[in-house]
């Protein structure tokens, strides 16, 4: 016989090592560290709880940190062994700038974005990614709010290339026509 506690339910999950600063922030203040549980394909919450454990070491094989949340389950809507999506609220990060995830490109030297300068040329600028959440990425260094970044057509660009905003051109010439988004800092980024 195995006895399993179902109220409150303990939800175990792993987060990437890069999220360690966010975990510390989530545990530092009582109003932060809230978790919301959802099922795949359904944004409606099926449970809410609080982060109550962060492992003292990183799993070197996976590069992740074991964490746990305690979730009230009086109605028994959650069941041990059930798979759920976990969203951890680490609070507002006003020092971050948010851009569409597709704007951030990988390189051997680390992530970068193409920033459009006032003279309509692009600058390949290294950035520090703090968090990626679906379609949005929080940038902690390398980008200012209001700067325009290229979100499509980056493979045809190089540092200093002249660009014009719009649809991709089929003609010849030195003008690329990437799609553009503006970096946003309105109210901060919430992971």
Q: Pick from 43, 72, 89: which residue ends a domain?
A: 89
Q: Which one-letter DSSP state was computed for residue 169?
A: P
Predicted confidence (pLDDT) per residue in 6-30, tens digit: 899 999 999 888 777 777 777 776 6
Predicted confidence (pLDDT) per residue in 91-126, tens digit: 666 677 889 999 999 989 889 999 999 999 999 999
- Going 165 to 168 to 174 to 180, the CA torsion angle's sign is positive
Q: Specify the pairing of strand 9-16 against strand 64-71.
A: antiparallel
In a domain, 191, yes or no: no
Query: How far apart are the C-alpha atoms of 191 and 180, rounded to whole Å?
Result: 23
Average pLDDT over residues 163-186: 54
Q: Which one-letter DSSP state was computed for residue 165?
A: S
> What is the pLDDT, as a whole number, of residue 186?
41
Q: Are residues 108 and 128 in the same domain?
A: yes
Predicted confidence (pLDDT) per residue in 42-90, tens digit: 778 899 998 888 888 999 999 999 989 999 999 988 988 889 988 887 7
- CA-CA distances (angstroms) from residue 54 to 18, 71, 85, 172? 14, 15, 18, 55
CATH number at residue 35: 2.40.30.170
Q: Are residues 102 and 167 in the same domain?
A: yes
Predicted confidence (pLDDT) per residue in 37-54, tens digit: 888 777 788 999 988 888
Global model pTM greater than 0.75: no
Q: Are residues 106 and 80 in the same domain?
A: no
State the residue range of the domain holding 131: 97-182
Q: H or E segment at 17?
A: none
> What is the pLDDT, as a whole number, of residue 169?
39
In a domain, 118, yes or no: yes
Number of domains in the chain: 2
Q: Are residues 43 and 120 in the same domain?
A: no
């Amino acid at each position: 016989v195995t006895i399993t506690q179902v109220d409150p339910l303990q939800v175990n999950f792993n987060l990437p090592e890069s999220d360690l600063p966010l975990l510390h922030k989530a545990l530092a203040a009582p109003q932060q560290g809230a978790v919301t549980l959802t099922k795949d394909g359904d944004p409606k919450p099926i449970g809410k709880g609080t982060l109550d454990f962060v492992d003292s070491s990183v799993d070197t094989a996976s590069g992740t940190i074991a964490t746990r949340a305690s979730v009230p389950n009086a109605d028994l809507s959650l069941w041990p062994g059930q798979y759920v999506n976990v969203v951890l609220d680490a609070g507002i990060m006003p020092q971050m700038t948010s851009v569409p995830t597709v704007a951030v490109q990988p390189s051997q030297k680390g992530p970068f974005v193409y920033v459009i300068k006032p003279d309509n040329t692009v600058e390949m600028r290294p950035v520090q990614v703090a968090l990626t959440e679906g379609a949005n990425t929080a940038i902690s260094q390398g980008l200012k709010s209001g700067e325009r970044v290229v979100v499509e057509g980056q493979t045809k660009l190089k540092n200093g290339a002249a660009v014009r905003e719009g649809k991709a051109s089929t003609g010849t010439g030195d003008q690329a026509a990437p799609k553009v988004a503006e970096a946003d800092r309105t109210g901060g980024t919430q992971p």
